[in-house]
Structure 1
């Protein structure tokens, strides 16, 4: 049966691959985007997750078109990489506001509808960096690590109503962001990955789709690494 699915930041990269996987499975998929154009074939809703009023408006639009959100993928995120001593308050605040507070805001709004339905799936897109750390990414790592504590607390709060809350933590994935890395940096990363390659966005998307499926209905509060083995033991 088609479900109402929302993917935040679903207009490119991992977000678009996730949205596409749900659409191919027959779900009704809405994507939020902050700038540019929405991808064709999806309900595109312009929304900055750092703005509570825009989040509320987006959920109202989606409910009118597809019904209340039954599956939320909180994927919208930004980076502002720089070393600790050079990192400004603004660099810190912008990343935390988008990646962590933005995810909290959309999850809170989605949970309201899911509690009424007595079912739902929430997935936060974290990162292997949230567990391993990364020089120059103190803000990003903190935001992605914070998603895990948030998801596990929500799993305990919402579980009795048939709502699962999980985290998918991608490793290094072939996207526009990794494509611009210097060749030496890419080689260095590849040498640390047991599978010896970067992941594909489709591989992240399939893990996300599975964790929201009926087959995964007894999994909540989990962190699913899709990282080629780089984060083993975390």
Structure 2
């Protein structure tokens, strides 16, 4: 049994980021054509495009501010000039900021998290779901976080955005499920990335002691779950919030 995405086209927002680039490579290795969204890192976008094309897949790069509806709509128009349709939409981009306590966190950081988590999800759905409904097929995948369940000090703006995103995805799953479109969220733990490998910061004993598997997960382990959820193997999974955190958070029934 293989994860086969041959003939599918996937859009990954924030594809040049630490997790996004591994998702792009992994879905490409599974057979998908990849639309690489970026906001500021054009160099990495072009590098990633070459990697995907070296796998024998089609790829294109698109720049857009994912907090602006008109830019996402424009992105779709550019994509449809080269691809017939977008089968898989992965909302991975998020605005980075310095975490502080509720009393110290600047107000604009709350707005940025709502814009990049909640509104991005809404804009992507409004832009790409109608054609999925016509085709009676599609995958919407949001990258959430274990922080949504942790609610630890300093996480308030991030948690506010991600928990709002969770609500949108759960409702959307119920609204469009009849069209055989699945809507799911992947919630990584504190993940080892390329930056960690470059800086030798993969090990964090304090964090790992809180994780039942006693280690941090890798970016590849996150991408593997994304690829599975994007595939036909996960055709009867929708409305799920799936932690990939080594058991550090466990949704209850």
TM norm structure 2 = 0.86
CA distance in 2, matches of 1:40, 1:161: 32
Superposed CA offset, 1:151-172 (max 9, x none): 1111110010110101111011
Note if 1:44 corresponds to 2:49: no
Change in 2 beyond 3 A, CA 1:180/1:85: farther
Match of 1:97 among 107, 115, 125: 115
Name 1:146's counterpart in structure 2.
164
Change in 2 beyond 3 A, CA 1:196/1:16: same
Note if 1:18 corresponds to 2:27: no
CA distance in 1, matches of 2:196, 2:164: 23
Match of 1:189 among 187, 197, 207: 207
Change in 2 beyond 3 A, CA 1:212/1:98: same
Q: CA deviation at 1:29?
A: 0.6
Match of 1:131 among 146, 149, 154: 149
Q: CA deviation at 1:179?
A: 7.6
Name 2:105's counterpart in structure 1.
87
Name 1:62's counterpart in structure 2.
79
CA distance in 1, matches of 2:119, 2:155: 17
Between stretches 100-109 and 4-13, larger displacement belongs to 100-109
Q: CA deviation at 1:177?
A: 7.3
CA distance in 1, matches of 2:64, 2:96: 18
Between stretches 120-129 and 92-101, larger displacement belongs to 92-101
Superposed CA offset, 1:157-212 (max 9, x none): 0010110101111011013677899x8x9332111011111111111111011012
Match of 2:238 among 201, 211, 220: 220
Name 2:92's counterpart in structure 1.
75
| Secondary structure of residue in 1 paired with 2:168 | helix
Please identify runs of 4+ aligned residues in structure 1 that moved more than 4 A.
176-181
Point out where structure 1 has 5 or more consecutive residues left out of the alignment: none
Name 1:27's counterpart in structure 2.
32
User: Is the CA contact (8 Å cut-off) linking 1:74 and 1:107 kept in structure 2?
Assistant: no
Q: CA deviation at 1:4?
A: 1.4
Match of 1:118 among 127, 136, 145: 136
